[in-house]
Every structure is written in C-alpha cells, then in structure tokens.
Chains A and B, each alone.
Chain A
C-alpha cells in the first residue's frame, strides 16, 4: 500500500479518500454491504460512548470508506442526530489514533488538508485565524499573535478530531429523497439499533412541558437548521416548568451537546442567548404548531395538554 492509498483509506476527510470514492464509487449496494456498514457504525458509536475500552484499528483497504458513506446515508434516514454525533465522534477518535502513529511528513500532509495554513514550526505547529476558528476552538483563549496561533501536536490532533467529527456527523448534504430504496428499507431496522440520548430520555421533570414527548425528542438533539428553534422551545419549556436559570442552562448545554454538529457550528452561547431572552420575556408561550412547522416534531404528542385544550 503506497502513501496516497494509506491516507485515502485511513482519513475519510482527505482529498485522497474523495478521489478513491469518486473513482471506485459505491458499486452495486447489497444487503451484506449495509450489514457491514451497520456493524461498522455501531462499533464506532460504542467507541464514542466509551462503553467498551477504545478499540482502534488501521484500515488496510478501501472498504471502510464505503461503510462510512453508507453509514451516513443510513444515519441521515434514521433521523437520530444523537447517534449521528456519536458516529462522528467515534470516527474522529479513530482518526486521532491513526494520526498519533504518523511521522511528521504524513501528519502534516493529512492535517494541512483540514488546515491549509498549517505549518510545522519546530516542535509546534502554526495556523491562521480562519483555520483555527473553523472548528469549535475558542479564539479568545488562543495564543494569538500576528494572526498565527502556535499549538502543540496533541492540541492539533484534538482540534482536528473535533473538526473531523463535525464533518462526519454533518448529514445536511445528503438528499434523503434520492437514496436507493434498499437503504430506505434497511434504515428502519438500523434506526432501532441506534442509541437514544439516555440521560435525557429517562429524566423526569416536575412540570408538564419538559416531560412531553416532543420536548424529549428535541432534547435528544436536532439537526442543522432546527437547532436554534429547538433551543427556543426548550427555553420556553424550562421557563414554564419553573426551572431555575441555572438548571435550565445545564439542560441547554446537554441539548447543544446532543445536537448535530456540522459545518455550521451551533454554540452553547447561541442556545444560552435564547434562554436569556425567554427568561426575560416570561409571557412567551410554547406553540406546538410552530414546533410542527419548524420540523422539530412530525406530529402532536398524544395526550398533550396544549393541543388537547385547543381541540376540545
């Protein structure tokens, strides 16, 4: 296996991986491919959840790239951003492990694809503002000087794995309507095998809003384009259920962590700004119709006191 192949097989975000996929294509997708992709996806999710000791491996052929592509299609169809996030994190952990084995030349060759301004600088690495802020790095704490941020190898790998996780779990570019029927059919069983956000799903709140199915669903995380409205809905529910601002902030942070990470970052500060606003405007009511319109729910909850009242 030459260097270009090794980079392609091991780093899904690399130019070499894209070239490999576009040259090979996914071919004829069989059930066995989808089963292999499901195994692969669940293995990554388990790795991300740390339910088992982290079990890394190095890819020896291009199969993994196919499984990643199929996993993303299946995840997109399953509508479970929590699982998509874990998948991304698992894949990122794997890439971080593989990067830790690389020599300087390969390490720089791979990471300069994520960070075009990256330069090795002695035992450190230097990168520009645009690259540094492209992940979830907080510029204000960065050792910034003259537009360059100097960081060590370990921090760079951590940064890169966060970015890789975002890219892997960003399913916004997948056109669900265009997916092959076989994937759509397989996705139903696949979805059942995926984990839901356990802590939030099990948690019982005192009020009547946060315990509703719609809120549980939103709290488990939503996809890009819905995250802001989701934060508004949670903020209103928290306020109506009488949660203190501190309790509500903690819940909101969990929500942000559960949401899909994508190329368009959704930051805690954005969600907490919704919370601030709602707590300053306690008269705002929760609108189930809005939740439906925004695609946060696909139907009204059974026995919801809100919709019941309206329909009576």
Chain B
C-alpha cells in the first residue's frame, strides 16, 4: 500500500500559522488524510447560507482554527479537498461578517436553535471502540426530545427540524425556524431547562386546599390538588407518568413505588386501589395517593431529557459555538456526521447507515490493545500487537481512535 501522498494530493494542516505546533505527520495520519480527501472529492458538503456562517476546522483538536468564512459552496468544497480537515464545524449563528474578529465585529444576525446530546461513557461495560449501549441510550433520548418536547410541547415543525448524527456518539438537533432564530441566549436556556426538567420546583404544580364541609367529615381536611387531565406542559407530563406507573404489572408497580421511597405495604395498598387512584389523579385530586411527593420526585428524576446522557446546555445557549457540519467526517471515527430522516431514526445504526468507507475492502492493522466490538453487523476481536485484516471502515475507526497502527 502506498502511504506517501503525492504532492498534488498532500494533506496539510490548513494555515501553517494556525496549525498546531506539534502536528505530527505519521503514516497513519497520511492514510486517514488521503481517505478523507477521497471522500470529499466524491461527496458534496452542502451548507445552507454558507456565506453567513463562521467555520472552524481541526486536525489535532476538534477546532484548531476558527473565524473562517466562505463565499460559496464551491469554495468550501475546495477547502475540504485541499486542506482535508479531520473535524469540520460551522456556526449555528448567521453573521454579516463571519470571518471578522473579535466576535462582536461579526455582527450577529440570527442563529439556529441547536440541541446537543452525547453519551455518558460512565456505565458498566462501556466499549471504548464502539459502544452499542451509548449509541442506543442517546438515540432513545433524541427520540424523546423530538417527540415529547420539540414536536408535542414546543410545536416545532418537522420541516424545520433536522437530526444529525455527530459521527461519534452524539446527536445534534437543528431547528431552523425563522420565529426561533432571534431567541436570546436566556430564552434558549429556558428551552433546555424545559426539556431537561432542570431546576424545576415540582411542588409548584401542587396546591394544598383546606376543605371544611366534606360529607361525613367533621374536621377540616387538607386536600392536595395537582395536575389533572386538563393540565398542559410539565404538569401534564407528571400526570401521564403517574398514570403510566399505575398500569404497570404488580411486580414492576411495587418495585417502582419502593424505589420512590414507599414501604412495601404502602405500595401494595396503592396497587389494590390503583383504578380509583388513577381516576382521582386524573381529576387532580392527588390526596388519593399517600405521600404524592415521593411519586412525583421519582417521576421528576426520569421524565426529562438527558438523565442518562448528556444534554449540553452550553451548545444551545452559547450562540457563538461551532457545531459539526452535517455530512462531514468525524476525525475520531471516520464515520459520517449524517443527517437522519425521522422515519429512520428509531432503527439508525451508524455502523450501517453512516459509513464513509468500504466494508468490502480490507486493511492490515496492528491493534494497540485487546479490542472486542461490534461494527456493521459483525463482531471484531483484535489481539494486542497482532496483525489483523479488517474492513477499511473498521481500520479507519481504529486508526482515527489511535487504537491501531498500520503495518
């Protein structure tokens, strides 16, 4: 295999002055660069409103240089082919002068609304090469973000919303609605807080009312009034979750209530009256359940987006942030940061649907450790310091992750 790039095709870091000093040209780096370059020669990177965006590119880090601007798609594509960045990002913001510095000189015009979800690798059995648990947990939260919050509560249009796989573990949701483009950072923060259910005082959805003349009761009775079927927003979400718990099979029901802090006896008593409890809660009469605050706390701990994954608040609120350009390659994986149609999201597997490189071609690599992972429907087991012939896409993944060397 020829690892030396020709002069014409040489893969150089962008501007010598801005490239990292310790940029190292290795055989692996050249190999990755040459394949990335080939990808960009055959795949058009399309950026809406290209001339109004700021661009940033990375070789060693995600962003080594920023404040770049392009007048046309053609100019951008030429940059990809000639400079071959490993990471490519653009601004969600639109500027009058996107290349100007400092930021204030760019003259901010408007910005897309972005939600960034990423996997938390702090779970048992995390696979450092390709972790299906991470992929699935983020994908599930993206679906919940879209269906429960962005479409249902916020009423965002599907036509103005796109989902992009980041190329690694995360997903970016872009909302390009003109009515939202002028939202301030504080307003965007409110949207993230809403979706995550962060900093919510759930007690505010409940009132304590004192009733005197209840039938057959002499004394004053305190009644807890809370979300009912007429409620909307988070109040409705609390009720819906509570009702969903009430229809769980007995074992799961008891386990859920025990987890919430109820005794087994209390949980069993509620289970025995669950139909009555459900009808009372639906009418907003939360006194029907003992210690409703415990149940609400349990619901609150799981009802928001980003409980098991990371919903990066700063990406949404900081409008000067740069975000991965859809349909470019991710330098940590060699996988495409692909735009995913909503209909394909639930079954989306990046190792099948976002591959940039051939699975039929192979490459010999030497693994730097023992790796055992699943990729594109096949299991791959590599022994440390042993030569392994793997599909090109797998070789690219391992080389990009610096977990293997070329022969």
Contact = CB atoms under 8 A, between A and B. Distances in A.
Interface of A: 128-130, 133-134, 138-148, 150, 263-265, 267, 269
B223 interface: no
A139 B183 CA distance: 14
B154 A147 contact: yes
Contacts, number: 67
Given A143-B233, A143-B235, A148 B200 contact: no
Contacts of A144: 153-154, 194, 232-234
A18 B186 CA distance: 27
A143 B239 CA distance: 13
Contacts of A139: 190-191, 193-194
Contacts of A134: 187
Given A129-B154, A264-B186, A141 B204 contact: yes
B48 to A, nearest CB: 21
17 contacts: A129-B180, A133-B183, A134-B187, A140-B190, A141-B204, A141-B234, A143-B232, A144-B154, A145-B152, A145-B232, A145-B233, A146-B152, A146-B155, A147-B153, A264-B184, A265-B184, A267-B186
B180 to A, nearest CB: 6
Interface string B102-137: 000000000000000000000000000000000000
Contacts of B155: 129, 145-148
A145 B229 CA distance: 13
Contacts of B350: none
Given A144-B154, A145-B153, A263-B184, 19 more contacts: A128-B179, A129-B155, A130-B179, A130-B180, A130-B182, A130-B187, A133-B186, A139-B191, A139-B193, A140-B193, A140-B197, A144-B234, A145-B152, A145-B232, A145-B236, A146-B153, A147-B153, A147-B156, A264-B186
B82 interface: no
A265 B233 contact: no
Contacts of B205: 141
B18 interface: no
Task: Kindly list the 5 A-B residue pairs having the minimum CB-CB distance in the complex, ordered from nearest.
Answer: A147-B155, A143-B232, A146-B155, A144-B233, A133-B187
Contacts of B191: 129, 133, 139
Nearest to B199: A269
B161 interface: no
A264 B182 CA distance: 13
